Structure 1
């Protein structure tokens, strides 16, 4: 069989499809998805038809084309199916980008390098760049500030595991951020390792009397357990009317009504500079100012547990929190701190619905790990009266013993009791009541 001679590259004919063939394929594709051809715009079609002037006749073997590559580029056909994400509206796609930026701070940079459309869309979404974490270069932070335009900013300073902060680095970051303090929505500072004079470096610009007010501040978190600075800081020149959520650990603040009157959530871990009745009086002053709380978490990690006589009386005085719905008492020591017991007695919470008794002490020795409950738990149960409005009650492993069961009978509104044993999963129990108001307990596990 004679072999067919192979044409050289410059004599090969480019692959072209005529308009009739493309129209036939388009009609079959549209009929398969039950869409009328009149409702589809030319931009939405997967195939791009070629005009008649692009259809070339066979070349003469003796002719020579000086630009073969340019002609082949014009007549080339790209057959590709459109991805579903490409048909999303730009508003919905931008909203997906914003949700992704909450989980990953580098997500905006990632999506801006996918394609031109995504980059243009990300640059035109200022809220996508409103989260500022001081773990990058100063030039990148300045670029984020420009791209966020007039949006409120979420400032975060979190120490990396292998790269602890130093005094000058934190001070440089905060000096750069305080120039936009009028746009702050939240401030989060979390440091684990010991850094001398950390709060002086981080909060010196926030405590100055000139241009340090935060009119848009809503959330504030200051966590540094190893703080050794006894100074009392007065933040934002005493003016942050929108502040609603506050997390404090290892710092002393001047508790002004203009700053903390409108708080709805407070996670308060007392510092190590005061103990005993002095610490209780400080926390009572804090709660009396922030009397509109809906959620409260209390902890005294640095208290000195001493054996107390059962006849010891506590100081007079109460704090009434009528709006409080959720209360969490957290223990981070061997036994329940005396300050926590005294403070729990002074709290009046008539509308409390959820009580969480949390045990987060992780350094159990061989002796303490065999304890089934705290040594001073009977004294706590004797002094603290469970509110009658409780609906949910949660015990961690050392908060529970057999003496708690009789105290639950007068709670007519109690619905759910959660018990978490040491190293185990939560065990949830429900309490059912009849129409007449009588209580009918059920010990079965609801899960």
Structure 2
């Protein structure tokens, strides 16, 4: 060990410092782990801690030897991440800031090694109930800003979450009145949302005019996330040249005017990520704050003369995420934007009205509609095989409007966290995705069956089984005639799919999906099935040929495992078997009921806004979310004796995990927290 240490010590200090920086960068990547592949720390749809960061690496290497400590203390990048979510982190922040501050005549404005990545997370005032509570509230937040405001020229990223109006006022004063310019700031995330109990609390949170931040001098800003926070939209010249834009949880009154929205997107032609969660451009309001009879935009025929007539072109947009937005409003927004190259699409769209869903919106997304000058309701699809007689009823190309989602034929990743629509419409959407590589579906929130609220009919699409209890779909349109499931086996749906993440689906349904996608021949008679040899112990041999069409990742709750014997057997046995050349059939098709899962019912943030905007909304929005989930990769192995073996590996997440907000994120005891930074 001494010989190895001496060999490593022979490396130049510059090389050792580079190795240390790589290790620290890995820790920082864990902090920025957004599922939407953005550099933001906080998620708009999560109320608990959704971040994870630990500075153990730079501290550990600084305690190995005198030489390593000297190198570490003279490498500013190791100490440039300042993370505050406990009051005890304030002293650590002071030490880190001193270690990464420039010495001598170096100008920090032009030295990247001295740039700061800052994260601040407070808790609601009511959470700070005891004198020993270590969470951050008003007093600690003021001290943090007193420490950071003098060095805004060194800020590279800044993510702030406040959960009450008291902390919000502190942040407004610091960022609006005390902060100077931020010439190196690239990432800005401002989050303010709390559990509003009544309309008065929401009015109090939104009645104040927004403040100008950083003296409007943020020339390098590339990634902007505003969650429940608005800006002086018309007085923020830095809203351009963006790579990532997230707007979330904005009541109608504080949303950006459409002219600002239009300008912001047109001046960000390199935009790669667009995330909208109960937000977007303002529809139009009169002086009294009530909805105006004239919207900000109503289509080509009623377009405002003061706005550009052409569509907004976002050729470089790669990620589009849409959550909790009304279908007509969303359709009007997307109709004015052209984004042909989106690679990842995330949808979480649920309807609060019993007789309304997103079926019509999805038809507009995956089909070419008829312009306003045509009265016909016929639609033309991306992937349609129409007969000559059908083609004769289709209007000329000049009268067709392009689909809202022109990127579907080349889309590679789709996440359906929630989607209220008809099963036939969902199938037609999936047919338009021949290049899809990754698919994630929460089956308890997609195409939910009214007869069985805890079940979904969407799994039939992938198992290729007859769909029972289906809604009426025979309205004579081309869309529905092309979408109707056939009893004949057709081409495999999503032929290039490599990763299929299945959330909250019963074991029998999971087996049905795997069987249909992994079998070689999709049909046979019952006698052929009975004639197949039974699984034997030889199937556990490691030397089996492997055919990996797709990897299946199953997420399930503990209660689902306890109440679903098929799912439990699939998990505990580590594998399931079915004949390679056939699919096992059951009379009447597969059971459509899914065993009930453990649920945590809570009112989500956008539902709070809907509830507290009675002049616009009068419905309560409720979301169902699994309390915990488990992932299980399933590689597919094909046996030489004619059977397919599906291997399952499962890891159960402990449901009794303590509240992350009450834990020391850094694994330090009270005795260590003061001395470890020295």
TM-score norm. by structure 2 comes to 0.43
In 2, the alpha carbon distance for the partners of 1:417 and 1:280 equals 34
Number of residue pairs aligned between Structure 1 and Structure 2: 335
**1:260-304 CA deviation, whole Å, 9 max, x = no partner?**
2121111221412538x987676445434544312211110799x
The structure 2 residue matched to 1:298, chosen from 276, 283, 288, is: 276
Structure with bigger gyration radius: 1
Question: Contact between 1:353 and 1:391, CA under 8 Å: does it hold in 2?
Answer: yes
In 1, the alpha carbon distance for the partners of 2:296 and 2:175 equals 42
**1:45-86 CA deviation, whole Å, 9 max, x = no partner?**
x9xxxxxxxxxxxxxxxxxxxxxxxxxxxxxxxxx5534755
Change in 2 beyond 3 A, CA 1:200/1:237: same
Question: Contact between 1:132 and 1:154, CA under 8 Å: does it hold in 2?
Answer: yes
- Which residue number corresponds to residue 145 of structure 1? 97
| Runs of 5+ unmatched residues, structure 2 | 28-53, 103-107, 109-113, 128-132, 195-201, 282-294, 304-309, 366-402, 446-458, 463-492, 498-515, 519-548, 552-678
| Runs of 5+ unmatched residues, structure 1 | 1-45, 47-79, 304-311, 433-441
- Which residue number corresponds to residue 666 of structure 2? none
In 2, the alpha carbon distance for the partners of 1:313 and 1:125 equals 53
The alignment partner of 2:188 has SS state of strand
**1:368-392 CA deviation, whole Å, 9 max, x = no partner?**
9xx9xx9421121233322157332
The structure 2 residue matched to 1:315, chosen from 281, 290, 298, is: 298
In 1, the alpha carbon distance for the partners of 2:431 and 2:417 equals 21
The structure 1 residue matched to 2:191, chosen from 223, 239, 246, is: 223
The structure 1 residue matched to 2:140, chosen from 169, 172, 175, is: 169
Question: Contact between 2:188 and 2:221, CA under 8 Å: does it hold in 1?
Answer: yes
Question: Contact between 1:197 and 1:229, CA under 8 Å: does it hold in 2?
Answer: no
The structure 1 residue matched to 2:120, chosen from 157, 173, 183, is: 157
Matched, 1:359 2:353: no
Matched, 1:392 2:407: no
The alignment partner of 1:253 has SS state of coil
Change in 2 beyond 3 A, CA 1:390/1:325: farther
Question: Contact between 1:355 and 1:390, CA under 8 Å: does it hold in 2?
Answer: no
- Which residue number corresponds to residue 120 of structure 1? 70
The structure 2 residue matched to 1:346, chosen from 336, 349, 352, is: 336
In 2, the alpha carbon distance for the partners of 1:111 and 1:262 equals 39
In 2, the alpha carbon distance for the partners of 1:237 and 1:144 equals 27
Question: Contact between 1:132 and 1:155, CA under 8 Å: does it hold in 2?
Answer: yes
Let me know the Cα RMSD of the aligned residues.
4.1
- Which residue number corresponds to residue 93 of structure 1? 16
Change in 2 beyond 3 A, CA 1:239/1:156: same
The alignment partner of 2:24 has SS state of helix
Change in 2 beyond 3 A, CA 1:313/1:219: closer
- Which residue number corresponds to residue 31 of structure 1? none
Change in 2 beyond 3 A, CA 1:290/1:314: same
- Deviation at residue 240 of structure 1 after TM alignment: 0.9
Question: Contact between 2:320 and 2:342, CA under 8 Å: does it hold in 1?
Answer: no
- Deviation at residue 126 of structure 1 after TM alignment: 1.3
- Which residue number corresponds to residue 182 of structure 1? 153
Change in 2 beyond 3 A, CA 1:169/1:346: same
The alignment partner of 1:258 has SS state of coil
